[in-house]
Structure 1
Amino acid sequence: MIDEYTEADAAVVELQLHRRPRAVVRVGWRCHQGRPGVIVTEPRLPDGTPFPTIYYLTCPSMVAGCSSLEASGLMAEMNQRLAEDPELAAAYRKAHEAYLADRNALGVVPEIENFSAGGMPDRVKCLHALVAHSLAVGPGVNPLGDEALAMLGDSLAKPCLQDQELTL
């Protein structure tokens, strides 16, 4: 689904990230308040730098939730399961391949040709990237992103910004 990225979206994302985002193509997912929570970025920044993470989590509630999951040791447990469960490993590799296909649709960048995000395809390195991927493409593509997202259920209901922040 293509979701236009407007100037109003840019202002919200700047508040969320405390900086102006670069090379945004569209909104990949919106929260229950209609605000951007995942943005889709070009695979090459305007200065020419390769940028492999096309699905970028911006919602502060979701970012905080992912950080808490990472601090809990969840990534180590997921990495162990990847090493022991061939079916999970195969599904995670397919998520990696889907991510690469999505990125290549935005532009081919030879320097990052086989690199996706979040540690895919062999390990879990960043839950933020995996959750962003799951939110942007929907359930059933990234099994570990889906699992982490399910654990963040309460974070989905929290407002990403307080209304007074939007009027500043």
Structure 2
Amino acid sequence: MTRPPFPPVSERDLRIVSAQLGRPARDVVGIAARCVCGAPTVVSTAPRLSDGTPFPTFYYLTHPVATASMSFLEAAQLMVEYTELLEQDAEVAAAYRAAHEQYLADREQYGTVPEIAGVSAGGMPTRVKCLHALAGHALAAGPGVNPIGDLALERSNWSPDVCRCPDYGVDDLDTAGSA
């Protein structure tokens, strides 16, 4: 778990994230969570991309096995179950709202973007829309901060405590170049 401000992102990290995403990494301001092997699992992205686009998803899940696991849970309609939980459990709803506020505060350390003011990710603070974003936040913030992200991680077939990283092939690349 790493909270902002983040240490500088290495070129190796950017190459791994690009390999994970299958495209060049954009405007990464930090590695918010890592696999036990050290590979990035969650990146933090600038709230305004370099092309000017507002980008509300500050904590972005990049690990391919973790993203596949969240996709499986989404396909199983887990978001409906968790939205109902928010409606029925005031304690979980209050913790989810607090997670939303923390998410916004973390992102604002990297800039205020009026177009996305008050917008966090994953449907926070009132519904569950994207388990990828919520799991990313839970991994970045640590257990007990985002209750829905924690629940999704508990139900997934992936754990950050067991390395299931593919060979990204970045160790053979020239380390002098930029991403």
Q: Same fold (TM over 0.5)?
A: yes
The higher relative CO (CA closer than 8 Å, separation ≥ 6) is in: 2
- Which residue number corresponds to residue 167 of structure 2? 162
Closer, same or farther: CA 102–47 of 1 in aligned 2, 3 Å: same
* Mapped partners of 1:164, 1:44: distance in 2: 30
For residues 1-168 of structure 1, the aligned pairs below 5 Å read: 1=2, 2-152=6-156, 154-156=158-160, 157-162=162-167, 167=172
Aligned to 2:177: none
C-alpha separation in 1, matches of 2:66 and 2:171: 18
Query: Would the aligned equivalents of 2:56 and 2:120 in 1 still touch at CA under 8 Å?
Result: yes
Shift of 1:160: 2.3
* TM-score normalised per structure 1: 0.93
Structure 2: segments with no counterpart, 5+ residues: 174-179
Secondary structure at 1:106 match in 2:
coil
The offset of 1:141, in angstroms, is: 0.9
Distance 1:26 1:120 in 2: 22
> What is the rounded CA distance, in whole Å, between the counterparts of 1:44 and 1:77 in structure 2?
32
**C-alpha RMSD of the superposition:** 1.6
Q: Say if 2:69 and 2:157, in contact at 8 Å, map to a contact too.
A: no
Structure 2 counterpart of 1:105, one-letter code: Q
- Unaligned runs of 5+ residues in structure 1 are none
Identity %, equivalent residues? 53
104 and 163 in structure 1: CA distance in 2 versus 1, 3 angstrom threshold:
closer
What SS class does the counterpart of residue 96 from structure 1 fall into? Answer: helix
CA drift at 1:155:
4.3
Give the paired residue count: 168
- Deviation (angstroms), 1:167: 4.6
Paired residues of 1:139 and 1:146 also in contact (CA < 8 A): yes
Aligned counterparts of 2:34 and 2:124: Cα–Cα separation in 1 = 24
- Return the TM-score normalized by structure 2: 0.88
Question: 1:16, 1:56 → 2: CA distance?
Answer: 12
